[in-house]
Each structure stands twice: as C-alpha cells, then as structure tokens.
Amino acid sequence: MAETNGAPTQPDVDVVVVGAGFAGLYMLHKLRGLGFTATVLETADDVGGTWYWNRYPGARCDIPTTDYTFGFDPDLESAWTWSEKYAAQPEILRYLQFVAERYDLRRDIRFSTKVTEATWDETARLWRIGTDPGPGLTARYYVMATGCLSVPKDLDIPGADRFRGDVYFTSRWPHEGVDFTGKRVGVVGTGSSGIQSIPLIAEQAAELTVFQRTPNFSIPAHNGPPPQQSLEEIATDREGYRDRAKWSRIGVPREPATETAAQLTPEERKARFDAAVAEGTLGGILALWADMGTNPEANDMVRDLMHDRIRSIVRDPETAESLCPKDHYFGTKRPCLDTGYYETFNKPHVTLVDLRKQPITTVTETGIETAEASYEFDAIVYATGFDAMTGAIVGVDITGVGGQTLKDKWADGPHTYLGLQSTGFPNLFLITGPESPSVLSNMAVSIEQHVEWVADCLRDMREAGFTTIEPTQTAEDGWGLHNGDCAAITLHPTANSWYMGANVPGKPRVFLAYIGGVDAYRAVCDEVREKGYLGFRLN
C-alpha cells in the first residue's frame, strides 16, 4: 500500500464485498464491468449463499422461478431454463454456480474466509478488513452482501447440548443428505423451513414428533412446471415484464387488489380466497383485498377462511386447532407455501406437540421433555430460524468514525438511510439492509436494484472526484421516522415476528424492513440519485 502526497492512500482493492450469494455475485460482476477492482470474501467454500447452506429436504423458493431469477442480462435469461414453478435448493444452487462460471466470478472470490472485523481508517480514508484466516485487506468501499437470513438463531432451549443422538439444523444441512428411514425424529420449529421439510421427513421416519411454538399460515404451493402465462409474457416482452416487477409492490408483476373487504360479498371473498389457494402464490394470497394488511376486521376474514381450510384437512380436532394461527394477523409473518403440510398430521406416525400447552422443559440425553410428557428420539432437527436482517451485519465488528461501533449504534435497532448506509460509517454499503424492502419482496429484484444503485453511485463519485460518501444525520433520522410511520399504519407491528426481531431474545423490537413497497422505494432511490445524492455527504 503506497502513501501518496495529499491524495488518499491506495487500498489493496477498490471494493471488498462480503458474501457470494445472489447479491455478492451480481455486485462483483457489476463492479468489474465498471472497471473497479473487487474481492469477494465468503465463509462457505463455494458460491450460493442461502442456497449453499439450506439443503434440508424440501428446501425451495417461494417466489416463482420466473420471477426469482436475475433479470439484468437477457442472454443469461435465455441461457437458463428453470424446471419448476418453485425450484428446489439444488437447482437454485446450480443456477448460481452457472452464473459464477458464465461471468468467471470465482477468480475474485476468496472462499472459506470469514470477515471478523472492519475498521474505517479516517486518515487513509479506507476500510481495514480483518479476516479469519488472514491476512485481511484494505478497500476504499466495503459492501456487505451478507444476506438477511444467513445467521441461524442461537438455540434457546435448555439442555440442547445434552442430546446424544443426531442433531441437524435446517440452515446448516449436511451436504451428503440425511436418511431418516426407520428413525424416531423430533422436529422443533414450524416456520417456512419446518413446513417445507416436515412432510418429507415424515415420509421416511418411523415416528415423527413436531414441536410447535407458533403455528404459521400456509397454502399449497401446487408446484409443477413454471407458470405458462409468465413464460409467454417473458417470451413476448421480457423487458416489459421485468419492468412491471421493478415497479410493483413486492417485486412480482401483479395488479394490486383495489376493493376493500367490505366492498365484497362473503361469496366473492370466498371465491377470491379459493382462487388464490388454487394458484398457490404469495403474491395472490397476500392481495385478496386492499385492506387486509391494515384493517383488523378485513384481516380476520382471511384468517377465518384459513382456519376453515385447516380444519377441513386435519382430522384430529385438537391438532387442527393447534395448527390454526390465532396469535397474529395473516401476513404479519411471512406465510408459507407447502406440499402436503397439513395432510401430514393425519398420518398415524406423526404427532404435533403444542408448546403453548406444554412447553419444553429440557432436552435430555435421549430426547425432549415437556411439561407433560417425555419423548425419545434418534435424531432432532432444529428449524428454529434466523437472526434476520441485522445478524450478519453486527456479526462483524465494524468500527466507524471516532471509534464508534455499528453494534453500539444499532443497540436500539438499525439506523440507516434507505437501508443502504449508516451515518458515521463512510463508504459502507448494505445490500438489502434493514429499512429497505428486502425480505418483504422478491429479493432477486431488490438485490438487483441495490447492486445497481451502489454501482451507479461509485461510478458517479469516481467521475465527480469524490472519495467518501455517508448519509447526513438528518436524512438518516428522517428515513427512520418514515420507515416507522409506514409500518405503524399496518398490522405488522402487532406480531411477534422475525420482521420485528421478536424471535431473538433481547433483540430490540422494531419493524426491520421498509413496507412502503418496492415501487415507492425505487422511486425514492432514483430521485435521491437524480438530485445529486440528496441526503448524502460526499467528500
């Protein structure tokens, strides 16, 4: 590294990117295209991110592959064909490997390398990145493409380390797979990963016991070939289709519902519900009527229809009641798409344990004890979720201007401008960071938007001769208020969801994503850039 007279110190590379999932791969490709030098650092030994780690049985996307795919290069789109409406994990991983090969990305990725710390050097105006294993490196810009759902939540179950049988985490599934044939298996957790894996584990296991703290809403995925209508629209007007996704509410082309629940008759509401269940998409079921996310009575109408559906499938009335979510409004936790989930509880060897009625007291050497019973297992599967949105970011010791750490700054919840940057941490960018639409959207679309915004920003800075960028305190405070206001007019803050940080003990209770819509958010980001990076301080 050479010190030049008056000019900023030259770093090892222009940009360090952390993470080699969808976001890190596209970021690297984009930066290279603009002539920046970049190195990607990744804990895993290959690309894929979410789709590298989550190899549990039944792991699939829940946004149709026609939409959950890169749209930045028409040639890439024509070179790849998805086999299913909702591709399974191996196919999505193959796709990301294909992307890495197509653009020759691996040569700038340092695998099996965890970023442990990052410190802003105010004098040299660069980031000093510490890695395990070392050596670290320096970069002018530091992009965290570390994922919103990449840090598994710590187990908060007493005695968890006592169990002597096999233990699996859905988020860190063995690469060689697991055969549960003839085994007594306990699954803890009924979020999306639990709901996807339970029917398949039940097919193999001799006995399956599911421990449920919170039931979740789920509708059938009706997986099969990719949706014909989307394929035709893409074939005739690819750009128009991708544009409609960019300017939609959740990053999937779809007209929003305009009628409120009260404007529809009960028969019309039921018909809409049945049609959405038959379609099997989150976009459909989340847009039955306009006020389902804001009006408790309108939401209750969806909940009632959901409960009726569960009761009509699950034969044991007590199990059916336990599976009916009553503690949160529909949509305030991400609903799930399943293949035979509720039907699984009709199998004689499958038992549901409702932890609201009989909490786990301890894990033992041989199984799990609840307040009422003792269960013996050969294997326990934990599908217990993630420290979402902020876990991977504060998992790195990041120190900014004046020795302030990001962890301290975010002790009461994340503070960002547009979810892209945080004041006091110049040149640090977050891809799909907290207070951006991220997990409330089709993340392929949100990732592309952020990557392109950051790349444009770095090019604009280079052309104008700027070296550093960070938000003003006023802009950050304003965005925080707007973010909170948008959430406050919805039912979301009423739920104990991971969107609210409520699944992690001690995590501040704030709504972590921007709920104003992918379209509105994109318009703001575009305007900020058009107005010369309004709200940012450039030097």
Contact in structure between 9 and 39 (CB atoms under 8 Å): no
Residue range at the interface with ligand FAD (CB under 6 A); choices 15-23, 75-83, 474-482, 520-528:
15-23
Give the DSSP letter string of 393-428: HHTSEEE-GGG-BHHHHTTTS---BTTTB-TT-TTE
Task: Dig out the tokens for 316 from the structure.
Answer: 């044991």
Nearer to ligand FAD, 64 or 325 (CB): 64
For the bound state, the minimum distance from the C-beta of residue 397 to ligand FAD, rounded and expressed in Å, comes to 10
What residues contact 320, with CB distance under 8 A and at least 6 apart? 310, 311, 313, 314
Q: Could you tell me if 269 and 234 are in contact, meaning their C-beta atoms sit under 8 angstroms apart?
A: no
Query: Alpha-carbon distance 14 to 37, whole Å?
Result: 5
Q: Is 21 in the site for ligand FAD (CB under 6 A)?
A: yes
Q: What is the DSSP letter of 58?
A: T
**CB 20 to ligand FAD: min, Å:** 6
Asked if 449 interacts with ligand FAD (CB under 6 A), we say no
Residue 353 CB, shortest distance to ligand FAD, in Å, is 23
Of 348, 405, 74, the C-alpha closest to 207 is 348
If one asks whether residue 17 binds ligand FAD (CB under 6 A), the answer comes out as no
Question: In this structure, which amino acid lies at residue 365?
Answer: E
Nearer to ligand FAD, 10 or 230 (CB): 230
What single-letter DSSP state applies at residue 255? P
Q: Which of 16, 59, 137, 336 binds ligand FAD (CB under 6 A)?
A: 59
User: Is 221 a residue that touches ligand FAD (CB under 6 A)?
Assistant: no
422-441 residues near ligand FAD, rule: CB under 6 A? 431-432
Neighbours of 166 (CB within 10 A): 15
Stretch that binds ligand FAD, among 139-147, 290-298, 349-357, 517-525 (CB under 6 A): 139-147
As a dihedral over the C-alpha atoms of residue 335, residue 86, residue 240, residue 258, rounded to 10 degrees, the angle is -30
Residue (322 or 390) nearer to ligand FAD, CB: 390
User: Site map for ligand FAD, 96-115, x if CB under 6 A?
Assistant: ------------------xx
In the complex, minimum distance from the CB of residue 371 to ligand FAD, in angstroms, rounded to a whole number: 31
Helix ranges restricted to H, 314-442: 317-323, 341-344, 391-394, 406-409
CB 246 → ligand FAD: shortest distance, Å?
14
Greatest CA span in the chain, whole angstroms? 78
Q: Does 31 bind ligand FAD (CB under 6 A)?
A: no
Q: Are strands 397-399 and 114-121 parallel, antiparallel or unpaired?
A: parallel
Are the CB atoms for 277 and 219 separated by under 8 Å? yes
Please state, in angstroms and rounded to a whole number, the distance separating the CA atoms of residues 60 and 226: 13
Stretch that binds ligand FAD, among 37-45, 118-126, 215-223, 348-356 (CB under 6 A): 37-45
- Cβ nearer to ligand FAD, comparing 22 with 211: 22
The two three-digit tokens of residue 40, written as one number: 């990607």
- Regarding 145 and contact with ligand FAD (CB under 6 A), the answer is yes
Residue closer to ligand FAD, measured from CB, 447 or 510: 447
The residue from 392, 451, 461, 487 that contacts ligand FAD (CB under 6 A) is 392
- Token pair, residue 407, equals 């962890």
- CA-nearest of 400, 458, 402 to 118 is 400
- Give the range of 311-319, 363-371, 389-397, 517-525 binding ligand FAD by CB under 6 A: 389-397
| Residue among 380 and 443 whose Cβ is closer to ligand FAD | 443
383 belongs to the binding site for ligand FAD (CB under 6 A):
no
For residue 374, give the H/E element and its range: strand 374-376
Q: Which residues contact 397 (CB under 8 A, 6 or more apart)?
A: 116, 117, 118, 130, 405, 407
Which of 38/264 has CB closer to ligand FAD? 38
From CA 421, how far away is CA 528, in angstroms rounded? 13
Q: Considering only residues 288, 394, 396, 475, which one is a binding residue for ligand FAD as defined by CB under 6 A? A: 396
| Residue position matching structure tokens 């803050």 | 493
Among residues 119, 138, 193, 218, which is the contact residue for ligand FAD, using CB under 6 A?
193
338 binds ligand FAD (CB under 6 A): no
Q: Are strands 336-338 and 218-220 parallel, antiparallel or unpaired?
A: parallel
Q: Which residues contact residue 147 at a Cβ distance below 8 angstroms, ignoring those fewer than 6 apart? A: 19, 21, 23, 49, 50, 392
Stretch of 46-54, 218-226, 326-334, 404-412 lying at the interface with ligand FAD (CB under 6 A) = 46-54
CB of 83 to ligand FAD, least distance (A): 16
Q: How far is the CB of 394 from ligand FAD (least distance, A)?
A: 10
Least CB distance to ligand FAD at residue 453 (A): 14
Q: Give the gyration radius of the chain's Cα atoms.
A: 24
- Contact status: 44 vs ligand FAD (CB under 6 A): yes
| Number of chain positions touching ligand FAD (CB under 6 A) | 37
With CB under 6 A as the contact rule, the residue among 29, 31, 55, 62 that binds ligand FAD is 62
Which residues form the interface with ligand FAD (CB under 6 A)?
18-24, 41-44, 49-50, 52, 54, 59, 61-63, 68, 114-115, 145-150, 193, 392, 395-396, 431-432, 442-443, 447
